[in-house]
Structure 1
Amino acid sequence: MAETDYRKITLDGLWNNNPATVQILGLCPLLAVTGTVVNALGLGLATLVVLMGSNGAVSLIRGYVTDAVRLPAFVMIIAALVTVIEMLMRAFTFELYEILGIFIPLIVTNCTVLGRADAFASKNPVLPSLLDGFMMGAGFLVILVILGGMRELIGQGTLFDNMQLLLGPVASGWRLEVFPDYPGFLFAVLPPGAFIGLGLIIAGKNVIDRRLKAARKARQADQPTASRRVRTTGKVS
């Protein structure tokens, strides 16, 4: 695969085809567990690992699986990876695992994971498939963390609270109390706050996309003008 294709895979995962802001997939866990940064980070990392692992495994077996059992085989791979992640979280981050609850096993039903396995990994070699899984997972993770940070800040007045649940004692002092004596804003922590927060993120992305598109059009409009000046005068004015 050409280098330009790797660049496209990267941009698609992080921006142009982001699972959360463009494909609008995986909204159930995205909206349910993003009350704090640590919850969002935990689920995002788990999803990223599953995306990479499933893409890599599906790419390896793509030439040996018939169409009749393709999707069941992909689901079995994803389920096995999610089970491994779940067991690791129960062993090393049990408190966070209890907070995330059912949403860790529900990664199996995340449309992004199965969609990338079927649409990309089943048609491409291992390395591009791993990169696609990583970038799609990273794009999903970034939106999770941004939304979690917004909701934690507005809802509790803090950032990075309880990070030790994921990263251990080294992160116990990471809590930032941005607004001292903050009374809290319950609406931001509840699901309606998640919908509004995600809507604001999507709206912001759309505004940036429109401005980038307008800037590209302006540059393209200037190029013929500059070319005509070169042909007329023999130099760029």
Structure 2
Amino acid sequence: MTSYREITLNGLWKNNPGLVQLLGLCPLLGVSNSTVNALGLALASAVVLICSNTAVSLVRGVVNTAVRLPAFVMIIAALTTCIELLMQAFTYELYQILGIFIPLITTNCVILGRADAFAAKHDPARSAYDGLMMGLGFGAVLVVLGALRELFGTGALLANMHLLFGPLAANWQLTVIPEYQGFLLAILPPGAFIVLGLLIAGKNRIDESLVARAKARQPQAPAPSRRVRVTGVIE
């Protein structure tokens, strides 16, 4: 069984869906032009991921191998429909902005991949925790990407957060760069590819630095001593 520590490291860093596996790129790039859009999709994806992993783990012993994947898709589709209905009821404006990307959670490679690769082989507790960590890892990349694009594109952060949290968040917007003229490329699709590429490059650079530090801390083995054998004849 995979340890909880390993599950945490894999979900948040070593096997992050957005930066390492490069799964779910369609919603990752499509709706990450603002913080509120990214956070809304991140929360929806995380809830579906946790619940689907738990459900798949519970039925893994009774589902025939021939219909395993269709059964997993049906579970994910049912959970996605529940999330879609909840968003229509409580965050309708945000639901309209996210549009097709909410139903597309059903075909998100991250969710189906974790259901087949992890939840189908582990107990419900570990499966739910794996869903939580993978959801947090995927959501963190979404939110960071959305925040950076919003900042570079508009000079502000946390705009329109009332769409997700209601009137309480009406004054959450932070104007980081006053009188900013805007940078249109950042909030267009090409900006998503550029910022994501920079995030991946930054993670790879950090990994290389960690590996180099680990090698530097390892004690070096002493050089093998050389023995010289002298032979001679004494008369």
**Do these two structures clear the TM 0.5 threshold for a shared fold by scoring above it?**
yes
- SS of the aligned residue for 2:32 comes to coil
Cross-structure match for 1:163: 161
- Give the alignment of 1:138-149 within 5 angstroms: 138-149=136-147
Cross-structure match for 2:203: 205
- SS of the aligned residue for 2:133 comes to helix
Q: 2:83 aligns with which of 73, 85, 105?
A: 85
* TM-score, normalised with respect to structure 2: 0.93
Cross-structure match for 2:51: 53
What is the distance in 2 between the residues matched to 1:224 and 1:172?
A: 62
Can you list the C-alpha shifts for 1:70-95, whole angstroms capped at 9, x where unaligned?
00000000000000000000000000
Q: Report the alpha carbon displacement of residue 182 of structure 1 after superposing the two structures with TM.
A: 1.1
Q: Are 1:105 and 2:103 an aligned pair?
A: yes
What is the distance in 2 between the residues matched to 1:28 and 1:75?
A: 18
Cross-structure match for 2:217: 219
Q: 1:126 aligns with which of 99, 124, 127?
A: 124
Q: Report the alpha carbon displacement of residue 223 of structure 1 after superposing the two structures with TM.
A: 6.0
Cross-structure match for 1:234: none
Cross-structure match for 1:232: none
Q: What amino acid is aligned across from residue 99 of structure 1 in structure 2?
A: I
What is the distance in 1 between the residues matched to 2:31 and 2:139?
A: 12
Cross-structure match for 1:136: 134
What is the distance in 1 between the residues matched to 2:74 and 2:33?
A: 30
Q: Are 1:172 and 2:170 an aligned pair?
A: yes
Q: Report the alpha carbon displacement of residue 224 of structure 1 after superposing the two structures with TM.
A: 4.3
What is the distance in 2 between the residues matched to 1:215 and 1:8?
A: 21
Relative to total residues, which structure has the larger helix share, 1 or 2?
1
Q: Report the alpha carbon displacement of residue 125 of structure 1 after superposing the two structures with TM.
A: 0.1
What is the distance in 1 between the residues matched to 2:162 and 2:61?
A: 43
- SS of the aligned residue for 1:151 comes to helix
Q: Which runs of 4+ in 1 moved over 3 A?
A: none
Can you list the C-alpha shifts for 1:154-195, whole angstroms capped at 9, x where unaligned?
001100000010011111111001111111111000000000
Q: Which runs of 5+ in 2 are unaligned?
A: 225-235
What is the distance in 2 between the residues matched to 1:36 and 1:125?
A: 37
* TM-score, normalised with respect to structure 1: 0.92
Q: What amino acid is aligned across from residue 107 of structure 1 in structure 2?
A: I
Q: What amino acid is aligned across from residue 174 of structure 1 in structure 2?
A: W
Cross-structure match for 1:115: 113
Q: What amino acid is aligned across from residue 101 of structure 2 in structure 1?
A: F
Q: Which runs of 5+ in 1 are unaligned?
A: 229-237
What is the distance in 2 between the residues matched to 1:181 and 1:97?
A: 30
What is the distance in 1 between the residues matched to 2:62 and 2:21?
A: 29
Q: What amino acid is aligned across from residue 177 of structure 1 in structure 2?
A: T
What is the distance in 2 between the residues matched to 1:223 and 1:98?
A: 60
Q: Report the alpha carbon displacement of residue 98 of structure 1 after superposing the two structures with TM.
A: 0.4
- SS of the aligned residue for 1:20 comes to helix
Q: What amino acid is aligned across from residue 27 of structure 2 in structure 1?
A: P
